[in-house]
Structure 1
Amino acid sequence: MSRKGWIYMTIGVLTLAAIFAMEYNKPKKVNWFPSYVSHHKIPYGTYVLNSLMEKHFPNKIEQVQKPPFELLTRTDSIRGTYFFVNETVSFGEAELNVLLDWVDQGNTLFVASDRFEQKLLDTLHLEQANVYNDGQLEPLFYLELSNPKLTSSTYKFTKDYYTTGFDQLDTLRTTVLAQVYTRSDSTDNIKKHVNTIKQSFGNGEILLTSFPKAFTNYFILKDTNQEYTAGLLSYLDTDKQIYMDNFHKSGKSFYTSPMYLFLNTKEFKWAYYLVLIGALIYIIFEGKRKQRAIPVVQPVKNQTLAFTRTIADMYFEKGELHLITKHKIDYFLEYLRSKLHISTQNLEDETFLRNLSMRSNTDLKDVKTLMGTISKLREKQYVTETELKNLNQKIQAFKANVDGK
């Protein structure tokens, strides 16, 4: 690789390292997902709520992972308060009937949800309405408890532009526990909306609040908001068991994916990303097409000599020595014409013999002997093996002189 290529590669590596360092050290993004799961420490989890209830109500808290229908129909010894908190708690018709029958036996149902099923609202003669943050550029709601025996402070919530409340209450059967309102820019009187109620049902009672965020980590840990949450929880019967629902949740109560450990831990997550990036780089650089090995091509062998020997052996085996001699003489004369550039029309001409002697670096006597042998053998019809060998020796000696050997 050229020097310029190394410089570009170094700059790329340093840039990539700087990006990784910035990503690793940047503040962790806050997860505002409304999970309401008991072990989640995100803003809208309920880890703080469950920890405080375990602390202040020892041996009274039981975490329930199964649906209420299954718990209440298969177990007869369930007595106390069933506590539900989620963004939306939606019971099926059969499940709601089982819950209401259970409350009718002298138990308590506590549900914190933005929205409630219409059947439950109809049963309690309630209606829900939206409360909007009118006239304000920033979201701001005020919450307060209605019971004068509790704190008279007002608590702020600044995360939503609207919330829900209850409308058209049956005041003879319903007790208002908390209210919500927002200040308007107009001079009209502030209208407060009921967001938490309590109502008797048979031998038990039902508590509903349309502000489930009061039980989240963010709300409880914000300023003095825990006093508002404590005021709502003060209506629970602490002499009986409290069953904390973990089934009706927006978030996952447990994680089945083995990748959760890597992706939820900052160090493991970046180690996992680096492995993926390294694998991608390897594929890019090592997966590209490479030059295939060039096969070794054996050069074509010169089979002329082998062919000549084969033909000669064939003639020799058949005893046709005169044909071998004829071909031998013809090839030699062609050699003289092409190699020494001399005419071979008259082999006994004196001028021809002198020129051949000088050009071949051979004694004139030897040249005359060779040419005489050739002339004699060309006229014979039968050639002996000895004569053929003698001719071949003289021709080889002549060629050796030509080549200077």
Structure 2
Amino acid sequence: MNKTFKIYAIVFIIILIVVAMFGIGKKPALDWRKNFDVDKKTPFGLYIFDQESSGLFHRKLEKVRVSPYSYYQKNNQKKPHNILIIQKKLDDVSWQYILDQVSKGSDVMWFTNDTTAKLRDTLGFRFKTVGHEKNYYLQFTDKKLSDNRLFIDKFPENQGFSYIRNDIEILGKTLHKDKSNETSFSADFVKVNFGKGHFYIHSEPLVLTNYYILNSKNKYIESVLSYLPKRETVWFIENDTPLSMSPLRFIHSNPPLKYAWYLLLFGLIIFVIFNAKRKQRIVPIIEPLKNTSVEFIRSIGNLYLQEGDFHEMMAKKAQYFLNRVRMDLLIDTHDLDAQFINKLHLKTGKNIELIEEAVKLIKKGQDPYASVMKEELIRMNQLLDKILK
């Protein structure tokens, strides 16, 4: 281990120690986002409700992570049941399937503060902002449940129902106090009849989150859910991002470990860059070999032309032509007879008289005692080029 590497290692270790010291004792920031995620343990996640849901629904709960459309396509003959929806938006086709199930006798418990055209036009009410208080109470209109009220003190939605039809039953109200300490009420939990079934709509989905379940001192949640009949309940859970299966998921889930991991990678990259820069030798430039075949052939051709040996040039040309016929056309060139001429005619499609003339000149070039004129060499060269063109 050289001296330079030791220096890099010591500096890197010191940086890691400094980062670790800053991370020790630092409390992670609390995530107050309203995610309504069953896998989140943050204040406004649904982790605790998800863990306790089986008991709340008398062990008759089915959790579904597909759309109502996909679910009821496979369960179209399902008996009347309960449907649970928490802050979930439905597509138009799924909404029609929900309406079909409710009209046949199913009941829907829907926690939402979002006014959609589906709720407004079909069920006959709207949401509105009913105040700007930082805290208020939710209580039931049923006097038997008056003690089971819930105090909302963290990021309340301040949403209630307005334009309610006369046939809609109000099950819960929100108690507001203005600056003069006068109390007013607004509906937050209603029952809507639809066909043979019912819609139960609650405008404050925060009541199901981890924070309010842990801080509840009574049975408010149980009282809300008690309006559903004791039968099978189908809970349509929002489709979340699947859990990462990466081996580094534990490191990425802890900010100090994640920062240390990135720092390690960054340090290794810097080390490799500087180390390679110091040790990399200069790569010599090697000129590629030049192809001198063309120059060689031109020189040989000029030599034959200057000597006037047309017979030798005709023989070389004939030899080159027959070699190409063997290699490219796969024709035997041992006997330059009528069969050879016919095969060459069939494979090249050239005029048979042209081929016969070329074969005659080839044979003359192969005859060592034949006298060859310049015009014959030129003619044979033209014929052979036409045949293989």
TM range (shorter): 0.5 to 0.7
Partner of 2:128, secondary structure, is strand
In the other structure, the counterpart of 2:232 is 241
The count of aligned residue pairs is 278
Which 5+ residue runs of structure 2 have no aligned equivalent? 1-5, 285-389
Q: Is the 8 A contact 2:82 2:232 kept in 1?
A: yes
Q: CA RMSD in A?
A: 3.1
CA positional deviation for 1:274: 4.5
Aligned equivalents of 1:36, 1:129: Cα separation in 2 = 21
CA displacement, residues 303-356 of structure 1 (integer Å, 9 cap, x when unaligned): xxxxxxxxxxxxxxxxxxxxxxxxxxxxxxxxxxxxxxxxxxxxxxxxxxxxxx
Matches within 5 A, 1:2-21: 14=14, 16-21=16-21
In the other structure, the counterpart of 2:243 is 255
CA displacement, residues 380-405 of structure 1 (integer Å, 9 cap, x when unaligned): xxxxxxxxxxxxxxxxxxxxxxxxxx
Q: Is the 8 A contact 1:90 1:116 kept in 2?
A: no
CA positional deviation for 1:195: 1.1
* 1:191 aligned onto 2:180: no
1:203 to 179, 196, 202: 196
Q: Is the 8 A contact 2:62 2:235 kept in 1?
A: yes
CA positional deviation for 1:284: 5.3
CA positional deviation for 1:184: 2.0
Aligned equivalents of 2:54, 2:283: Cα separation in 1 = 76
CA positional deviation for 1:125: 1.4
Q: TM-score, normalised by structure 2?
A: 0.63
Q: Is the 8 A contact 1:40 1:47 kept in 2?
A: yes
In the other structure, the counterpart of 1:124 is 123
In the other structure, the counterpart of 2:141 is 146
* 1:43 aligned onto 2:43: yes
Kindly provide the amino acid, as one letter, of the partner of residue 77 in structure 1.
Answer: K
Aligned equivalents of 1:93, 1:157: Cα separation in 2 = 33
Q: Is the 8 A contact 2:43 2:210 kept in 1?
A: yes
CA positional deviation for 1:233: 1.2
Kindly provide the amino acid, as one letter, of the partner of residue 227 in structure 1.
Answer: K
2:271 to 272, 282, 304: 282
In the other structure, the counterpart of 1:347 is none
Q: Is the 8 A contact 2:172 2:188 kept in 1?
A: yes
Change (3 A) 1:11 1:98: closer
Kindly provide the amino acid, as one letter, of the partner of residue 208 in structure 2.
Answer: F
Partner of 1:132, secondary structure, is coil
Aligned equivalents of 2:275, 2:175: Cα separation in 1 = 65
CA positional deviation for 1:211: 0.6
In the other structure, the counterpart of 1:220 is 213
CA positional deviation for 1:162: 4.2
1:160 to 143, 146, 155: 155
Aligned equivalents of 2:19, 2:113: Cα separation in 1 = 42
Kindly provide the amino acid, as one letter, of the partner of residue 227 in structure 2.
Answer: Y
In the other structure, the counterpart of 2:337 is none
CA positional deviation for 1:147: 1.6
* 1:69 aligned onto 2:58: no
Partner of 1:115, secondary structure, is coil
In the other structure, the counterpart of 2:371 is none
CA positional deviation for 1:281: 3.8
Q: Is the 8 A contact 1:199 1:207 kept in 2?
A: yes
In the other structure, the counterpart of 1:175 is 169
Aligned equivalents of 1:234, 1:294: Cα separation in 2 = 80
Change (3 A) 1:104 1:55: same
Partner of 2:144, secondary structure, is coil
In the other structure, the counterpart of 1:231 is 223
Which one has a bigger Cα radius of gyration?
A: 1
Change (3 A) 1:24 1:190: same
CA positional deviation for 1:8: 12
Partner of 2:154, secondary structure, is coil
Aligned equivalents of 1:197, 1:40: Cα separation in 2 = 28
Kindly provide the amino acid, as one letter, of the partner of residue 118 in structure 1.
Answer: A
The percentage of aligned residue pairs carrying the same residue is 23
Aligned equivalents of 1:58, 1:46: Cα separation in 2 = 19
Which 5+ residue runs of structure 1 have no aligned equivalent? 1-5, 296-405
Change (3 A) 1:271 1:16: closer
CA positional deviation for 1:48: 1.2
Q: TM-score, normalised by structure 1?
A: 0.61
Aligned equivalents of 1:271, 1:16: Cα separation in 2 = 7
